[in-house]
Structure 1
Amino acid sequence: MKTDWNEVLQLLLNATGETLYMVLLAGLFTLLIGLPLGVLLFISRAGGLFPLPRLNRALGAVINLGRSLPFVVMLIALIPLTRLIVGTTLGSTAAVVPITIGAFPFFARIVETALDDVDKGRIEAIVAMGGDIRHVIFKVLLPEALPALVAGVTLTLVMLIGFSSMAGVIGGGGLGDLAIRYGYQRFNNQIMVVTVVVLVVLVQGVQSLGDRCVRSLAHRR
Protein backbone atom coordinates (compact mmCIF):
# COMPACT_ATOMS: atom_id res chain seq x y z
CA MET A 1 0.00 0.00 0.00
CA LYS A 2 1.47 3.34 -1.14
CA THR A 3 2.03 5.95 1.55
CA ASP A 4 0.43 9.35 0.95
CA TRP A 5 3.18 11.59 2.33
CA ASN A 6 1.03 14.73 2.23
CA GLU A 7 -1.43 13.02 4.57
CA VAL A 8 1.42 11.71 6.72
CA LEU A 9 2.91 15.21 7.00
CA GLN A 10 -0.41 16.64 8.15
CA LEU A 11 -0.91 13.83 10.65
CA LEU A 12 2.65 14.30 11.87
CA LEU A 13 2.20 18.03 12.39
CA ASN A 14 -1.04 17.51 14.30
CA ALA A 15 0.47 14.74 16.42
CA THR A 16 3.58 16.80 17.19
CA GLY A 17 1.39 19.70 18.27
CA GLU A 18 -0.61 17.42 20.55
CA THR A 19 2.60 16.00 22.05
CA LEU A 20 3.99 19.47 22.75
CA TYR A 21 0.65 20.48 24.29
CA MET A 22 0.68 17.47 26.63
CA VAL A 23 4.33 17.89 27.58
CA LEU A 24 4.14 21.63 28.26
CA LEU A 25 0.86 21.50 30.19
CA ALA A 26 1.87 18.44 32.20
CA GLY A 27 5.29 20.03 32.74
CA LEU A 28 3.66 23.15 34.19
CA PHE A 29 1.48 21.14 36.57
CA THR A 30 4.43 18.93 37.50
CA LEU A 31 6.47 22.00 38.39
CA LEU A 32 3.63 23.57 40.40
CA ILE A 33 3.09 20.37 42.39
CA GLY A 34 6.56 18.86 42.53
CA LEU A 35 8.53 21.98 43.50
CA PRO A 36 6.68 22.76 46.75
CA LEU A 37 6.51 19.06 47.59
CA GLY A 38 10.26 18.74 47.14
CA VAL A 39 10.85 21.78 49.34
CA LEU A 40 8.50 20.36 51.96
CA LEU A 41 10.33 17.04 51.89
CA PHE A 42 13.62 18.84 52.48
CA ILE A 43 12.57 21.13 55.31
CA SER A 44 10.38 18.56 57.12
CA ARG A 45 13.00 15.84 57.44
CA ALA A 46 14.44 15.06 60.87
CA GLY A 47 16.98 17.75 61.69
CA GLY A 48 15.62 19.99 58.94
CA LEU A 49 14.51 23.59 59.07
CA PHE A 50 10.97 22.64 60.10
CA PRO A 51 11.12 19.01 61.21
CA LEU A 52 7.87 17.09 60.84
CA PRO A 53 9.00 13.45 60.79
CA ARG A 54 5.53 11.91 60.47
CA LEU A 55 4.54 14.18 57.61
CA ASN A 56 7.89 13.58 55.96
CA ARG A 57 7.49 9.81 56.16
CA ALA A 58 3.93 9.97 54.83
CA LEU A 59 4.93 12.18 51.90
CA GLY A 60 7.94 10.01 51.19
CA ALA A 61 5.80 6.88 51.14
CA VAL A 62 3.28 8.43 48.73
CA ILE A 63 6.02 9.71 46.43
CA ASN A 64 7.85 6.38 46.46
CA LEU A 65 4.60 4.62 45.60
CA GLY A 66 4.03 6.95 42.66
CA ARG A 67 7.57 6.39 41.40
CA SER A 68 7.38 2.61 41.72
CA LEU A 69 4.26 2.07 39.59
CA PRO A 70 4.87 1.38 35.88
CA PHE A 71 3.40 4.25 33.89
CA VAL A 72 1.30 2.01 31.63
CA VAL A 73 -0.34 0.51 34.73
CA MET A 74 -0.92 4.00 36.11
CA LEU A 75 -2.54 5.10 32.84
CA ILE A 76 -5.17 2.39 33.20
CA ALA A 77 -5.59 2.70 36.97
CA LEU A 78 -6.24 6.45 36.73
CA ILE A 79 -8.97 6.20 34.10
CA PRO A 80 -11.77 6.82 36.66
CA LEU A 81 -9.94 9.84 38.12
CA THR A 82 -9.23 11.21 34.65
CA ARG A 83 -12.89 10.90 33.71
CA LEU A 84 -13.87 12.63 36.97
CA ILE A 85 -11.52 15.57 36.40
CA VAL A 86 -11.75 16.06 32.63
CA GLY A 87 -15.03 14.32 31.77
CA THR A 88 -13.41 11.97 29.28
CA THR A 89 -10.48 9.57 29.03
CA LEU A 90 -9.68 10.26 25.38
CA GLY A 91 -7.62 13.03 23.89
CA SER A 92 -4.56 15.08 24.81
CA THR A 93 -6.19 17.01 27.65
CA ALA A 94 -7.28 13.81 29.38
CA ALA A 95 -3.77 12.37 29.02
CA VAL A 96 -2.33 15.32 30.96
CA VAL A 97 -3.86 13.96 34.19
CA PRO A 98 -2.01 10.62 34.38
CA ILE A 99 1.13 12.15 32.87
CA THR A 100 1.25 14.77 35.63
CA ILE A 101 0.52 12.26 38.38
CA GLY A 102 3.21 9.98 37.03
CA ALA A 103 5.80 12.78 36.82
CA PHE A 104 5.46 14.98 39.90
CA PRO A 105 6.79 12.37 42.42
CA PHE A 106 9.92 12.03 40.28
CA PHE A 107 10.41 15.79 40.12
CA ALA A 108 9.78 16.21 43.86
CA ARG A 109 12.68 13.87 44.59
CA ILE A 110 14.87 15.80 42.15
CA VAL A 111 14.04 19.02 44.00
CA GLU A 112 14.83 17.44 47.36
CA THR A 113 18.19 16.19 46.09
CA ALA A 114 19.05 19.58 44.55
CA LEU A 115 18.30 21.39 47.81
CA ASP A 116 20.34 18.85 49.75
CA ASP A 117 23.44 19.94 47.80
CA VAL A 118 23.15 23.59 48.86
CA ASP A 119 25.99 24.78 51.10
CA LYS A 120 24.77 24.40 54.68
CA GLY A 121 26.94 27.34 55.75
CA ARG A 122 24.77 29.75 53.75
CA ILE A 123 21.65 28.40 55.41
CA GLU A 124 23.19 28.78 58.85
CA ALA A 125 24.26 32.33 58.04
CA ILE A 126 20.73 33.40 57.10
CA VAL A 127 19.31 31.78 60.24
CA ALA A 128 21.98 33.44 62.40
CA MET A 129 20.96 36.83 60.99
CA GLY A 130 17.38 36.22 62.07
CA GLY A 131 16.01 34.89 58.80
CA ASP A 132 12.95 32.66 58.94
CA ILE A 133 12.10 29.63 56.80
CA ARG A 134 10.69 31.82 54.05
CA HIS A 135 13.95 33.75 53.79
CA VAL A 136 16.00 30.54 53.76
CA ILE A 137 13.86 29.02 51.00
CA PHE A 138 13.65 32.04 48.69
CA LYS A 139 16.99 33.73 49.42
CA VAL A 140 19.27 30.70 49.72
CA LEU A 141 17.83 27.29 48.83
CA LEU A 142 16.07 28.00 45.53
CA PRO A 143 18.63 30.52 44.13
CA GLU A 144 21.60 28.32 45.03
CA ALA A 145 19.98 25.17 43.68
CA LEU A 146 18.71 26.85 40.49
CA PRO A 147 21.17 25.18 38.05
CA ALA A 148 20.39 21.74 39.50
CA LEU A 149 16.67 22.52 39.42
CA VAL A 150 16.84 23.53 35.75
CA ALA A 151 18.71 20.31 35.01
CA GLY A 152 15.94 18.46 36.85
CA VAL A 153 13.26 20.24 34.83
CA THR A 154 15.07 19.24 31.64
CA LEU A 155 15.26 15.61 32.73
CA THR A 156 11.58 15.69 33.68
CA LEU A 157 10.53 17.16 30.33
CA VAL A 158 12.42 14.42 28.50
CA MET A 159 10.59 11.87 30.64
CA LEU A 160 7.27 13.59 29.88
CA ILE A 161 7.89 13.17 26.16
CA GLY A 162 8.17 9.43 26.76
CA PHE A 163 5.06 9.45 28.94
CA SER A 164 3.09 11.34 26.29
CA SER A 165 4.06 8.69 23.75
CA MET A 166 2.84 5.90 26.02
CA ALA A 167 -0.44 7.78 26.51
CA GLY A 168 -1.24 6.79 22.93
CA VAL A 169 -2.04 3.32 24.29
CA ILE A 170 -5.30 4.68 25.76
CA GLY A 171 -6.06 7.11 22.93
CA GLY A 172 -4.22 10.06 24.40
CA GLY A 173 -3.27 11.50 21.03
CA GLY A 174 0.14 12.75 20.03
CA LEU A 175 3.03 10.97 18.37
CA GLY A 176 2.49 7.78 20.36
CA ASP A 177 -1.08 7.51 19.15
CA LEU A 178 0.06 8.16 15.58
CA ALA A 179 2.70 5.44 15.81
CA ILE A 180 0.21 2.92 17.21
CA ARG A 181 -2.79 3.62 14.95
CA TYR A 182 -1.09 4.43 11.66
CA GLY A 183 2.20 2.61 12.10
CA TYR A 184 1.81 -0.49 14.23
CA GLN A 185 -1.84 -1.39 13.55
CA ARG A 186 -1.53 -0.77 9.82
CA PHE A 187 1.92 -2.38 9.56
CA ASN A 188 3.36 0.85 8.12
CA ASN A 189 7.03 0.84 9.08
CA GLN A 190 7.67 4.15 7.34
CA ILE A 191 5.32 6.01 9.70
CA MET A 192 6.86 4.23 12.66
CA VAL A 193 10.34 5.35 11.63
CA VAL A 194 9.28 8.94 10.96
CA THR A 195 7.54 9.12 14.34
CA VAL A 196 10.60 7.81 16.15
CA VAL A 197 12.80 10.36 14.36
CA VAL A 198 10.53 13.24 15.44
CA LEU A 199 10.56 11.99 19.04
CA VAL A 200 14.35 11.78 19.00
CA VAL A 201 14.57 15.32 17.62
CA LEU A 202 12.24 16.60 20.36
CA VAL A 203 14.25 14.90 23.09
CA GLN A 204 17.56 16.17 21.71
CA GLY A 205 16.15 19.70 21.38
CA VAL A 206 14.86 19.79 24.95
CA GLN A 207 18.08 18.30 26.34
CA SER A 208 20.31 20.70 24.41
CA LEU A 209 18.27 23.74 25.47
CA GLY A 210 18.26 22.59 29.08
CA ASP A 211 22.01 21.95 29.11
CA ARG A 212 22.62 25.40 27.66
CA CYS A 213 20.49 27.02 30.37
CA VAL A 214 22.30 25.07 33.10
CA ARG A 215 25.72 26.15 31.78
CA SER A 216 24.58 29.77 31.59
CA LEU A 217 23.31 29.74 35.18
CA ALA A 218 26.47 28.02 36.42
CA HIS A 219 28.69 30.67 34.79
CA ARG A 220 26.66 33.49 36.35
CA ARG A 221 27.28 32.00 39.78
Structure 2
Amino acid sequence: MTETLLANSKVPVGELPALLFPALVDTLIMVGIVMAIVVLVGVPLGAVVHNLAPGGLFENPGLHTVLSWIISVGRSLPFLILMASIMPFTRFITGTNIGIAAAVVPMSLAGIAFFTRIVENSLRSVPPSAVQVARASGGSSLQIIRTVQLNEAVPSIIGGLTINVIAMIEYSAIAGTIGAGGIGYVAVTYGYQRFDQGVMLATIVILVITVAVIQLIGDALVRFTTPHRRLAHAV
Protein backbone atom coordinates (compact mmCIF):
# COMPACT_ATOMS: atom_id res chain seq x y z
CA MET A 1 0.00 0.00 0.00
CA THR A 2 2.76 2.42 0.98
CA GLU A 3 4.77 1.59 -2.14
CA THR A 4 1.70 2.26 -4.29
CA LEU A 5 1.15 5.67 -2.70
CA LEU A 6 4.82 6.59 -3.16
CA ALA A 7 4.73 5.49 -6.79
CA ASN A 8 1.63 7.59 -7.42
CA SER A 9 3.23 10.63 -5.77
CA LYS A 10 6.17 10.71 -8.18
CA VAL A 11 6.43 13.76 -10.41
CA PRO A 12 5.79 12.98 -14.10
CA VAL A 13 8.76 13.72 -16.36
CA GLY A 14 6.78 16.32 -18.27
CA GLU A 15 6.18 18.31 -15.08
CA LEU A 16 9.83 18.39 -14.00
CA PRO A 17 10.67 21.70 -15.76
CA ALA A 18 7.75 23.45 -14.03
CA LEU A 19 9.01 22.15 -10.69
CA LEU A 20 12.75 22.61 -11.15
CA PHE A 21 13.01 25.94 -12.99
CA PRO A 22 11.42 28.05 -10.22
CA ALA A 23 13.57 26.14 -7.71
CA LEU A 24 16.71 27.00 -9.68
CA VAL A 25 15.66 30.66 -9.77
CA ASP A 26 15.16 30.60 -5.98
CA THR A 27 18.62 29.09 -5.53
CA LEU A 28 20.25 31.73 -7.72
CA ILE A 29 18.41 34.53 -5.90
CA MET A 30 19.44 33.11 -2.53
CA VAL A 31 23.08 32.74 -3.56
CA GLY A 32 23.06 36.17 -5.23
CA ILE A 33 21.85 37.90 -2.06
CA VAL A 34 24.35 36.01 0.07
CA MET A 35 27.29 36.72 -2.23
CA ALA A 36 26.46 40.44 -2.35
CA ILE A 37 26.68 40.50 1.45
CA VAL A 38 29.80 38.32 1.44
CA VAL A 39 31.68 40.59 -0.98
CA LEU A 40 30.60 43.83 0.71
CA VAL A 41 31.80 42.57 4.10
CA GLY A 42 34.52 40.09 3.15
CA VAL A 43 36.68 42.34 0.96
CA PRO A 44 37.18 45.17 3.49
CA LEU A 45 37.39 42.73 6.40
CA GLY A 46 40.02 40.65 4.60
CA ALA A 47 42.03 43.78 3.84
CA VAL A 48 41.82 44.88 7.48
CA VAL A 49 42.88 41.47 8.81
CA HIS A 50 45.80 41.36 6.37
CA ASN A 51 47.06 44.81 7.33
CA LEU A 52 46.68 44.19 11.06
CA ALA A 53 49.28 41.43 10.77
CA PRO A 54 52.95 42.19 11.50
CA GLY A 55 54.34 44.20 8.60
CA GLY A 56 50.89 45.46 7.59
CA LEU A 57 49.88 49.05 7.00
CA PHE A 58 48.42 49.40 10.50
CA GLU A 59 49.77 46.34 12.27
CA ASN A 60 48.18 45.28 15.53
CA PRO A 61 49.17 41.69 16.36
CA GLY A 62 46.71 41.37 19.25
CA LEU A 63 43.66 42.47 17.27
CA HIS A 64 44.85 40.44 14.29
CA THR A 65 44.99 37.30 16.44
CA VAL A 66 41.47 37.86 17.78
CA LEU A 67 39.93 38.48 14.35
CA SER A 68 41.85 35.60 12.80
CA TRP A 69 40.61 33.26 15.54
CA ILE A 70 36.99 34.33 15.03
CA ILE A 71 37.30 33.77 11.28
CA SER A 72 38.86 30.35 11.83
CA VAL A 73 35.98 29.34 14.10
CA GLY A 74 33.47 30.42 11.46
CA ARG A 75 35.28 28.40 8.80
CA SER A 76 35.74 25.28 10.90
CA LEU A 77 32.07 24.71 11.79
CA PRO A 78 30.17 22.42 9.38
CA PHE A 79 27.40 24.47 7.80
CA LEU A 80 24.55 22.33 9.13
CA ILE A 81 25.87 22.75 12.69
CA LEU A 82 26.36 26.50 12.19
CA MET A 83 22.85 26.84 10.80
CA ALA A 84 21.33 24.98 13.76
CA SER A 85 23.44 26.71 16.42
CA ILE A 86 22.52 30.26 15.41
CA MET A 87 18.78 29.69 14.93
CA PRO A 88 17.89 32.01 17.86
CA PHE A 89 20.03 34.75 16.28
CA THR A 90 18.51 34.06 12.86
CA ARG A 91 15.00 34.30 14.28
CA PHE A 92 15.93 37.58 16.02
CA ILE A 93 17.20 39.05 12.75
CA THR A 94 14.57 37.73 10.32
CA GLY A 95 11.64 36.82 12.58
CA THR A 96 11.63 33.24 11.29
CA ASN A 97 13.68 30.06 11.20
CA ILE A 98 12.41 28.85 7.83
CA GLY A 99 12.50 30.10 4.28
CA ILE A 100 15.03 32.02 2.19
CA ALA A 101 15.41 34.83 4.73
CA ALA A 102 16.36 32.35 7.44
CA ALA A 103 18.91 30.67 5.15
CA VAL A 104 20.59 33.94 4.15
CA VAL A 105 21.85 34.63 7.70
CA PRO A 106 23.90 31.44 8.29
CA MET A 107 24.98 31.29 4.65
CA SER A 108 26.25 34.88 4.86
CA LEU A 109 28.17 34.24 8.07
CA ALA A 110 29.78 31.11 6.65
CA GLY A 111 30.53 32.85 3.36
CA ILE A 112 32.05 35.92 5.02
CA ALA A 113 34.40 33.81 7.12
CA PHE A 114 35.47 31.83 4.05
CA PHE A 115 35.87 34.81 1.72
CA THR A 116 37.66 36.97 4.30
CA ARG A 117 40.37 34.34 4.54
CA ILE A 118 40.55 34.14 0.74
CA VAL A 119 41.03 37.91 0.46
CA GLU A 120 43.64 37.90 3.23
CA ASN A 121 45.63 35.12 1.55
CA SER A 122 45.31 36.82 -1.85
CA LEU A 123 46.75 40.06 -0.47
CA ARG A 124 49.75 38.17 0.88
CA SER A 125 50.74 37.44 -2.72
CA VAL A 126 51.11 41.16 -3.50
CA PRO A 127 54.84 42.04 -3.78
CA PRO A 128 55.95 44.03 -0.70
CA SER A 129 57.95 46.27 -3.03
CA ALA A 130 54.73 47.54 -4.62
CA VAL A 131 53.41 48.58 -1.20
CA GLN A 132 56.73 50.18 -0.29
CA VAL A 133 56.74 52.26 -3.47
CA ALA A 134 53.19 53.42 -2.77
CA ARG A 135 54.16 54.34 0.78
CA ALA A 136 57.20 56.28 -0.44
CA SER A 137 54.95 58.14 -2.86
CA GLY A 138 52.88 59.41 0.06
CA GLY A 139 49.82 57.25 -0.51
CA SER A 140 47.40 56.86 2.38
CA SER A 141 46.61 53.44 3.81
CA LEU A 142 43.20 53.46 2.11
CA GLN A 143 44.74 54.42 -1.24
CA ILE A 144 47.38 51.70 -0.97
CA ILE A 145 44.78 49.06 -0.10
CA ARG A 146 42.50 50.08 -2.95
CA THR A 147 44.94 50.88 -5.76
CA VAL A 148 47.84 48.55 -4.95
CA GLN A 149 46.89 45.60 -2.76
CA LEU A 150 43.38 44.86 -4.02
CA ASN A 151 44.26 45.84 -7.58
CA GLU A 152 47.22 43.45 -7.73
CA ALA A 153 45.26 40.64 -6.08
CA VAL A 154 42.24 40.80 -8.42
CA PRO A 155 42.89 37.49 -10.28
CA SER A 156 43.45 35.59 -7.04
CA ILE A 157 40.38 37.14 -5.42
CA ILE A 158 38.23 36.26 -8.44
CA GLY A 159 39.47 32.67 -8.27
CA GLY A 160 38.58 32.54 -4.59
CA LEU A 161 35.23 34.17 -5.23
CA THR A 162 34.40 31.45 -7.74
CA ILE A 163 35.11 28.78 -5.12
CA ASN A 164 32.98 30.71 -2.63
CA VAL A 165 30.00 30.93 -4.99
CA ILE A 166 30.15 27.18 -5.58
CA ALA A 167 30.31 26.59 -1.82
CA MET A 168 27.23 28.79 -1.33
CA ILE A 169 25.32 26.73 -3.90
CA GLU A 170 26.19 23.64 -1.87
CA TYR A 171 25.10 25.41 1.33
CA SER A 172 21.82 26.46 -0.30
CA ALA A 173 21.09 22.78 -0.92
CA ILE A 174 21.70 22.05 2.77
CA ALA A 175 19.48 25.01 3.67
CA GLY A 176 16.68 23.19 1.87
CA THR A 177 16.31 21.12 5.04
CA ILE A 178 14.80 24.18 6.77
CA GLY A 179 12.42 24.90 3.91
CA ALA A 180 14.62 27.57 2.35
CA GLY A 181 13.35 26.74 -1.12
CA GLY A 182 15.53 26.21 -4.13
CA ILE A 183 16.96 23.05 -5.62
CA GLY A 184 17.91 21.66 -2.22
CA TYR A 185 14.35 21.89 -0.96
CA VAL A 186 13.04 20.09 -4.05
CA ALA A 187 15.68 17.38 -3.67
CA VAL A 188 14.78 16.81 -0.01
CA THR A 189 10.99 17.07 -0.34
CA TYR A 190 10.45 15.23 -3.61
CA GLY A 191 13.62 13.25 -4.20
CA TYR A 192 14.40 12.03 -0.67
CA GLN A 193 11.14 12.04 1.30
CA ARG A 194 9.06 10.70 -1.60
CA PHE A 195 11.80 8.43 -2.96
CA ASP A 196 11.43 10.05 -6.39
CA GLN A 197 14.67 9.09 -8.12
CA GLY A 198 13.72 11.06 -11.23
CA VAL A 199 13.58 14.32 -9.29
CA MET A 200 16.75 13.48 -7.38
CA LEU A 201 18.66 12.75 -10.59
CA ALA A 202 17.34 15.93 -12.22
CA THR A 203 18.43 18.09 -9.27
CA ILE A 204 21.89 16.51 -9.34
CA VAL A 205 22.25 17.23 -13.06
CA ILE A 206 21.12 20.85 -12.59
CA LEU A 207 23.56 21.41 -9.72
CA VAL A 208 26.46 19.86 -11.64
CA ILE A 209 25.75 21.99 -14.72
CA THR A 210 25.31 25.15 -12.65
CA VAL A 211 28.59 24.62 -10.81
CA ALA A 212 30.41 23.82 -14.07
CA VAL A 213 29.14 27.02 -15.72
CA ILE A 214 30.15 29.14 -12.72
CA GLN A 215 33.61 27.55 -12.70
CA LEU A 216 34.04 28.24 -16.42
CA ILE A 217 33.02 31.88 -15.96
CA GLY A 218 35.36 32.26 -12.98
CA ASP A 219 38.29 30.70 -14.86
CA ALA A 220 37.63 32.98 -17.83
CA LEU A 221 37.62 36.07 -15.60
CA VAL A 222 40.89 35.00 -13.96
CA ARG A 223 42.51 34.54 -17.38
CA PHE A 224 41.13 37.89 -18.54
CA THR A 225 42.45 39.86 -15.57
CA THR A 226 45.82 38.17 -15.04
CA PRO A 227 47.60 39.33 -18.24
CA HIS A 228 46.45 42.92 -17.70
CA ARG A 229 47.66 42.94 -14.13
CA ARG A 230 51.01 41.43 -15.11
CA LEU A 231 51.43 43.92 -17.96
CA ALA A 232 50.57 46.86 -15.72
CA HIS A 233 53.04 45.63 -13.10
CA ALA A 234 55.80 45.19 -15.69
CA VAL A 235 55.26 48.71 -17.04
Task: Tell me, in whole angstroms, the C-alpha distance in 2 between the residues paired with 1:195 and 1:215.
Answer: 30
Query: What's the counterpart of residue 141 of structure 1?
Result: 149
Query: What's the counterpart of residue 73 of structure 1?
Result: 81
Report the residue type matching 2:128 in the other structure. K
Among 171, 179, 200, the alignment partner of 2:208 is: 200
Q: Larger Rg: 1 or 2? A: 2
Task: Tell me, in whole angstroms, the C-alpha distance in 2 between the residues paired with 1:82 and 1:13.
Answer: 28
Q: How high is the TM-score relative to the length of structure 2?
A: 0.91
Query: What's the counterpart of residue 197 of structure 2?
Result: 189
Runs (4+) of structure 1 moved beyond 3 Å? none
Query: What's the counterpart of residue 163 of structure 1?
Result: 171
Query: What's the counterpart of residue 12 of structure 2?
Result: 4
SS of the residue 1:169 aligns to: helix
Question: Structure 2: any 5+ residue segments left out of the alignment?
Answer: 1-6, 230-235
Q: Residue 19 of structure 1 contacts residue 174 of structure 1 at CA under 8 Å; is this kept in 2?
A: yes
Seen in structure 2, the aligned counterparts of structure 1 residues 139 and 3 have a Cα distance that, compared at 3 Å, is closer
Report the residue type matching 1:36 in the other structure. P
Identity percentage over the alignment?
Answer: 39
Report the residue type matching 2:15 in the other structure. E
Quick check: 1:49 aligned with 2:50? no
Q: 1:219: Cα distance to partner?
A: 2.1
Q: 1:20: Cα distance to partner?
A: 0.3
Task: Tell me, in whole angstroms, the C-alpha distance in 2 between the residues paired with 1:124 and 1:18.
Answer: 46
Report the residue type matching 1:150 in the other structure. I
Q: 1:5: Cα distance to partner?
A: 2.7
Report the residue type matching 1:147 in the other structure. P
State the Cα deviation string for residues 87-124 of structure 1 (Å, max 9, x = none): 11111122111111111111001000100000111110
Equivalent runs, 1:20-169 vs 2, <5 Å: 20-169=28-177
Report the residue type matching 2:31 in the other structure. V
Q: 1:196: Cα distance to partner?
A: 0.4
Q: 1:32: Cα distance to partner?
A: 1.1
How many residues align structurally? 221
Q: Please, what is the CA RMSD of the aligned residues?
A: 1.1
Task: Tell me, in whole angstroms, the C-alpha distance in 1 between the residues paired with 2:29 and 2:89.
Answer: 20
Task: Tell me, in whole angstroms, the C-alpha distance in 1 between the residues paired with 2:227 and 2:101.
Answer: 38
Seen in structure 2, the aligned counterparts of structure 1 residues 16 and 87 have a Cα distance that, compared at 3 Å, is same
Task: Tell me, in whole angstroms, the C-alpha distance in 2 between the residues paired with 1:90 and 1:13.
Answer: 21
Q: Residue 21 of structure 1 contacts residue 92 of structure 1 at CA under 8 Å; is this kept in 2?
A: no
Q: 1:25: Cα distance to partner?
A: 0.5
Query: What's the counterpart of residue 172 of structure 1?
Result: 180
Question: Structure 1: any 5+ residue segments left out of the alignment?
Answer: none
Among 206, 213, 217, the alignment partner of 2:221 is: 213
Task: Tell me, in whole angstroms, the C-alpha distance in 1 between the residues paired with 2:38 and 2:204.
Answer: 25
Task: Tell me, in whole angstroms, the C-alpha distance in 2 between the residues paired with 1:119 and 1:86.
Answer: 43
Q: Residue 19 of structure 1 contacts residue 173 of structure 1 at CA under 8 Å; is this kept in 2?
A: yes
Task: Tell me, in whole angstroms, the C-alpha distance in 2 between the residues paired with 1:81 and 1:8.
Answer: 36
